[in-house]
Structure 1
Amino acid sequence: MIFKKLNIPLSSSKTIGPVTSLEYLGIILDTDAFEARIPVDKINRMCYLIHQLSRKKRCTKRELLQLIGHFNFATCIIIPGRSFLSYLFHVSCSVDELLYHVRLGKEARIDLSIWEEFLMHWNGRSLFLESSLITNVDLCLFTDAAGSYGYGGI
């Protein structure tokens, strides 16, 4: 009502009333389940791209970078996936032009298969963790600086 009185246009497709699950910047935030999810269509798109590249021995730099971009987005939710991006970045840097072909070797295929496992079994979900749930006192975790060798922790 206030927006109409002030003559501010609103898009009805982008306006949502009070809800507990909403999509924001391509991520579904669910306050009931305390989780963030990747939408199913994005998971399906990434799986499709993985299957397309897994069957090839070579692909263009553009195709690989497109998939890396999707993976980079997914790391907001699938945090362990960051470890399996570095080699794919390395492969993409082996040529200069976007239309040049890169070789997808054994290591790249392993990273692609691990990403497929993440997408299929991680289920695109990440829980909201409250920092107040577990503290170092609750865990009886205390550390001490080690003078010359190793690390100190009790």
Structure 2
Amino acid sequence: MNSFTELCNKLGVPIAEDKTTTRLTFLGLEIDTVDMVVCIPVAKLIKLRFHLQPMTIKRKIKFKDFESLVGLLTFCSRAVPSSRTFWRRFYDVIASFRVKKPFFSFRITSEIREDVMVWLEFLKSFNRDSSIIGLNWTDNDILQLFADSAGHAELGCGSYFNGKRVQFKWPDSWVGLNILQDIFGTPSYTFSTLYMGSSFEN
């Protein structure tokens, strides 16, 4: 910032000192350039809880209300890393309807209700902030970390990190269950961290 200010002074570009800020709102999210965090506005979280809470006791929900909830979850998920696992089932429900009538009501399944409970429990302790991760740490070519999962319950997942390889077989108890539909892609990186975490240092 100092370099930018000096350059503007040299070029004679006027700067409104009263308008510079280290915390701004962009696309609905608050960004703090000092603490390097992205923050979800309080009003959005209150609205999210308001839409989630009734789903713990209601048997049915209107399609338009469900769509609104999914849109809100998608927005908040931009500041909640790895949260896609817990709203993917919601998208599957929307995609399953060929005719999307706004006032059509459908039954809330036990699986959807469980995901709602996870979100409500998470929101109890969520401080609204998520760290902005440096670009170098999100580039697989730099980290040399690659992982993938097989969607079939009788197979498994594997990962590669800087010359080291590891492979995992899905538990036999998962055969016949839809558990992979919910966590697909997540276990490979989780297991990699558990088994090769010490290699990630520095």
The TM-score, its normalising length taken from structure 2, stands at 0.57
Bigger drift between 104-113 and 90-99 goes to 90-99
Which consecutive residues of structure 1, in runs of 5 or more, have no partner in the other structure? 1-15
- CA distance in 1 between counterparts of 2:60 and 2:143 reads 49
SS at match of 1:77: coil
Q: Say if 1:78 and 1:118, in contact at 8 Å, map to a contact too.
A: no
Q: Which amino acid aligns with 1:143?
A: G
**Which of 43, 46, 49 is the equivalent residue of 2:45?**
43
Higher RCO (CA 8 Å, separation ≥ 6 residues): 1
SS at match of 1:80: coil
Deviation at 1:132, TM superposition (A): 5.0
Deviation at 1:31, TM superposition (A): 1.3
Q: Say if 1:91 and 1:102, in contact at 8 Å, map to a contact too.
A: no
Q: Which amino acid aligns with 2:89?
A: Y
Which consecutive residues of structure 2, in runs of 5 or more, have no partner in the other structure? 1-17, 145-160, 169-195
Q: Say if 2:64 and 2:103, in contact at 8 Å, map to a contact too.
A: yes
Q: Say if 1:92 and 1:102, in contact at 8 Å, map to a contact too.
A: no
- CA distance in 2 between counterparts of 1:69 and 1:112 reads 14
Q: Say if 1:85 and 1:111, in contact at 8 Å, map to a contact too.
A: yes
- CA distance in 1 between counterparts of 2:65 and 2:107 reads 12
Match of 1:88 in 2: 90
Distance 1:133 1:115, change over 3 A: closer
- Report how many aligned residue pairs link the two structures: 132
Segments of 4+ in structure 1 off by > 3 A?
131-137
Deviation at 1:111, TM superposition (A): 0.7
The structure with the greater share of residues assigned to helix is 2
Match of 2:112 in 1: 108
Match of 1:56 in 2: 58
Deviation at 1:150, TM superposition (A): 4.4
- CA distance in 2 between counterparts of 1:53 and 1:136 reads 41
Q: Which amino acid aligns with 1:117?
A: E
Q: Which amino acid aligns with 1:28?
A: E
Match of 1:66 in 2: 68
Deviation at 1:131, TM superposition (A): 4.0
- CA distance in 2 between counterparts of 1:57 and 1:81 reads 25
Identical columns (%) = 21
- CA distance in 1 between counterparts of 2:48 and 2:102 reads 20
The TM-score, its normalising length taken from structure 1, stands at 0.73
Q: Say if 1:35 and 1:125, in contact at 8 Å, map to a contact too.
A: yes
Q: Say if 1:36 and 1:125, in contact at 8 Å, map to a contact too.
A: yes
RMSD: 2.8
**Which of 157, 163, 180 is the equivalent residue of 1:143?**
163
